[in-house]
Structure 1
């Protein structure tokens, strides 16, 4: 099974069918109707509106409801009339008899809780208002117990995230701060895009544990940490209308991903007794892998009963337990062999830069079969103690070259039928010299009476 044959489940929007698993820490109008305004230079005569999210959005009866499920992609007409919106932000003033308390409402989070482990590809956010001046995206692989950051975004990375490297990542998995998606323009319709695996880096083995750890998650959290403002929020309580103009608002959120099956499934089904909408839409990405290759488990992470792990991970396979394969490796993938499929077949050698689970871990020997022992064999793996190097050809006695494809000096006629590979040239001086090396002087004189200056070409030495 080569790389092209590794089954890949289809990718889709993980939000579809999971509105009940999407939450926001702040939503306008949840407890009571709230006033909000737009910037005065934006088009339209009306500048202030009412948000009332006590009931779900309905274009006819509840057009002012801006709950978080509004961000899930739909193909309704006039889609731009539906969005999620946080409470008015920046600062909140609370007075008691002695003190003025100021609370920041810049910090708002959106969270998606998945029922099983999934694989994430892209996150795309389309904003109705300014994009955040600063934000970060986190993930959890243990259902929210611990969190790790995917990426930071900020207009001023040094000010917002002073301990984080800014600019271009230097390698796959580097956590950096990106300023590309945090400018104050455009004022509406701006996007923030997260690509989990940076396409500028080549990934040799997408099934390595390191790469799999980078792309999997059970929970996704987006933290907005700073709003863009125009400098009118510092004027105090008398300018309360200025505070009503600043909040986070999203038209759409797309979480592209697939079920995570360790390369052992091409489709996934719905899991029983798991969270999700009551009626699953046709485009919903389910999380229960329909496993192939004798694998089992929610993510095809183990072998079925009576099968054993054979260098697990694509294109690794599960073989019958008890040595039923006889160690021959007939069921081993892509030019591997052995009871655990951890060696290369004859006429192949191990690429030292690839894991044995890689589809191209065993590469063909580049040896001339006429000049090598056993018709093209090469060293299958390196052994420093023996001084052997993987891929090196095993030449016959009178043959040389990295590929055993030429005769040694003063030899000719490379042939598969010749056990030495090549014959000594028909020059009696050379023939007699070779004879002298292998026999006594008496044998030489009796077997080959050669002229001191050499015999004529092609004359037998008898």
Structure 2
């Protein structure tokens, strides 16, 4: 029995392997052509994992909108004073002169220019009330953040600011982080840093005072939203264990959504003043100026694409796995045989593609030669196999015979009698007592024996029993008391 089971498993596994090699001659996984960047001890390297586009500078693909619309300086021309010296007012902004203009696109131009280029707002002088500015960055596409968001200010960092995100193309907003010189005073929040967060509090919205000092710290120009420090809570300080992070992202939707955006909004609430009191007589000192914004990320393609293209002012994933849509977020037409599902990072490291399958997998598409009317899609092999083959058949299309049966050469593949019992062979069911197996159909027995496998001596007519042809002795008759026992043993062995 054990030998029979082992041989059965071996035949089944051989069939699976042959089918796999037929469909995937070089690989077992759907994701082996996909790669992603990871941090290792050697630095940034490629790791072959789930399908996702490479990380890139996403500011190349955004649209920027300012509110109020006329908040950019230069129309009409305006003169500015230095923050640290209210009597040095020799900075001009004139939108009609290229050298003196500071339009919004200068927040995203090439760094390293001399002199530095930057966007600049009108001064507080033109806004007697609070100088409030909203800068909205829109991609018209879902993206996943992969590195810190970094803003570089040229006029002193704002004393109050909020970074917000949207996941629904700007219809609703939620805060990412609050920034202030005094968090309690500005937002009634205790000040914290990203170092105060844990795996369990990573999604908490905090207010930080680290990036809100004015002109006294004028050489500290950057304001950050720390993505990599949050990644490190799962992947380790040097992000060496990205598999752990991917596993968390795969199983925790809230965590995955936290790093996903369609839009960002920078709400500038109070410019750098360098003092607790605003100098009402020198409001030209106060304004916002941003020289650079960095947003590093990748197109969100739900692990169904390895590349993202920018065409006609729009980003879209080049979807695979029979998916479609800007985010590969639905199955193609005629490939809705099961509900759409995002790809998975799990199991690490190959992941699971969750391919969309054709609608007509079922009796219509089942090629089983009439031996089954039910099929199943095997994602590992990306193929369809027949289920519960009848008439002693087996195989992907019920085209083979079960162990113990052989192909009836006189029958077609769709014949119910295509597989008939394998009466004898040269290994498991040998013909006994010198018999010879003929075409697996019957044993050709010597004249002294008979039976299916030549296991019975021939009986001589007229005698009360059988005896071997060469023994010259009458057959042995067991005592009558052993008769029932032998019958019991015989029935147990059958």
Q: Under a length normalisation based on structure 1, what TM-score does the superposition of the two structures give?
A: 0.58
Which stretches in structure 1 are left out of the alignment for 5+ residues?
56-60, 94-102, 277-285, 340-462
Measure, in 2, the Cα distance between the counterparts of 1:269 and 1:174.
Answer: 34
Measure, in 2, the Cα distance between the counterparts of 1:52 and 1:338.
Answer: 75
Corresponding residue for residue 117 of structure 1:
142
After superposition, the Cα gap between the structure-2 partners of 1:294 and 1:49, relative to the gap in structure 1 and judged at 3 Å, is same
2:59 is paired with a residue of what secondary structure? coil
Query: Which residue, out of 48, 55, 73, partners 1:29?
Result: 73
After superposition, the Cα gap between the structure-2 partners of 1:40 and 1:143, relative to the gap in structure 1 and judged at 3 Å, is closer
After superposition, the Cα gap between the structure-2 partners of 1:248 and 1:267, relative to the gap in structure 1 and judged at 3 Å, is same
Instruction: State yes or no: 1:70 paired with 2:118.
Output: no
After superposition, the Cα gap between the structure-2 partners of 1:234 and 1:320, relative to the gap in structure 1 and judged at 3 Å, is closer
After superposition, the Cα gap between the structure-2 partners of 1:84 and 1:165, relative to the gap in structure 1 and judged at 3 Å, is same
Which stretches in structure 2 are left out of the alignment for 5+ residues?
1-28, 32-46, 235-244, 344-351, 367-373, 388-494
After superposition, the Cα gap between the structure-2 partners of 1:253 and 1:30, relative to the gap in structure 1 and judged at 3 Å, is same
After superposition, the Cα gap between the structure-2 partners of 1:126 and 1:264, relative to the gap in structure 1 and judged at 3 Å, is same
Instruction: State yes or no: 1:150 paired with 2:212.
Output: no
2:66 is paired with a residue of what secondary structure? strand
After superposition, the Cα gap between the structure-2 partners of 1:177 and 1:91, relative to the gap in structure 1 and judged at 3 Å, is farther
Corresponding residue for residue 345 of structure 1:
none
1:287 is paired with a residue of what secondary structure? strand
After superposition, the Cα gap between the structure-2 partners of 1:231 and 1:331, relative to the gap in structure 1 and judged at 3 Å, is closer
Corresponding residue for residue 83 of structure 1:
118
Q: Is the 8 A contact 1:309 1:319 kept in 2?
A: yes
Q: Is the 8 A contact 2:71 2:133 kept in 1?
A: no
Corresponding residue for residue 180 of structure 1:
210
- Tell me how far 1:40 sits from its aligned partner: 4.5
**For 1:18-417, what aligned pairs fall within 5 Å after superposition?**
18=62, 21-23=64-66, 25=68, 27-40=71-84, 47-53=89-95, 55=96, 62-74=98-110, 77-78=113-114, 80-89=115-124, 92-93=127-128, 103-105=129-131, 107-121=132-146, 122-163=148-189, 166-167=192-193, 168-170=196-198, 171-184=201-214, 185-188=216-219, 190-196=221-227, 198-202=230-234, 203=245, 204-208=247-251, 209-231=253-275, 234=278, 236=280, 239=281, 242-272=282-312, 276=313, 287-307=315-335, 308-309=337-338, 312-314=341-343, 315=352, 316-323=354-361, 328-332=376-380
More helix by share: 2
Q: Is the 8 A contact 1:129 1:189 kept in 2?
A: no
Post-superposition Cα deviations, 1:335-364, rounded to whole Å, max 9, x if no partner, equal xx999xxxxxxxxxxxxxxxxxxxxxxxxx
Q: Is the 8 A contact 2:64 2:104 kept in 1?
A: no
After superposition, the Cα gap between the structure-2 partners of 1:221 and 1:62, relative to the gap in structure 1 and judged at 3 Å, is same
After superposition, the Cα gap between the structure-2 partners of 1:72 and 1:199, relative to the gap in structure 1 and judged at 3 Å, is same
- Tell me how far 1:174 sits from its aligned partner: 1.6
- Tell me how far 1:15 sits from its aligned partner: 2.0
> For this pair of structures, how many residues does the alignment match?
301
**What RMSD over aligned residues (CA atoms) do the two structures have, in Å?**
3.3
- Tell me how far 1:267 sits from its aligned partner: 0.6
Post-superposition Cα deviations, 1:56-86, rounded to whole Å, max 9, x if no partner, equal xxxxx521101111111315742x4311111
Post-superposition Cα deviations, 1:211-265, rounded to whole Å, max 9, x if no partner, equal 33222222210011122323485454xx2xx211121111111122221100111
1:63 is paired with a residue of what secondary structure? helix
Measure, in 2, the Cα distance between the counterparts of 1:321 and 1:22.
Answer: 44
Measure, in 1, the Cα distance between the counterparts of 2:277 and 2:126.
Answer: 8
Post-superposition Cα deviations, 1:410-462, rounded to whole Å, max 9, x if no partner, equal xxxxxxxxxxxxxxxxxxxxxxxxxxxxxxxxxxxxxxxxxxxxxxxxxxxxx
Q: Is the 8 A contact 2:155 2:272 kept in 1?
A: no
- Tell me how far 1:311 sits from its aligned partner: 7.2
1:181 is paired with a residue of what secondary structure? coil
Q: Is the 8 A contact 1:141 1:218 kept in 2?
A: yes
After superposition, the Cα gap between the structure-2 partners of 1:90 and 1:33, relative to the gap in structure 1 and judged at 3 Å, is closer
Measure, in 1, the Cα distance between the counterparts of 2:183 and 2:111.
Answer: 36
Measure, in 1, the Cα distance between the counterparts of 2:360 and 2:127.
Answer: 69
- Tell me how far 1:330 sits from its aligned partner: 2.5
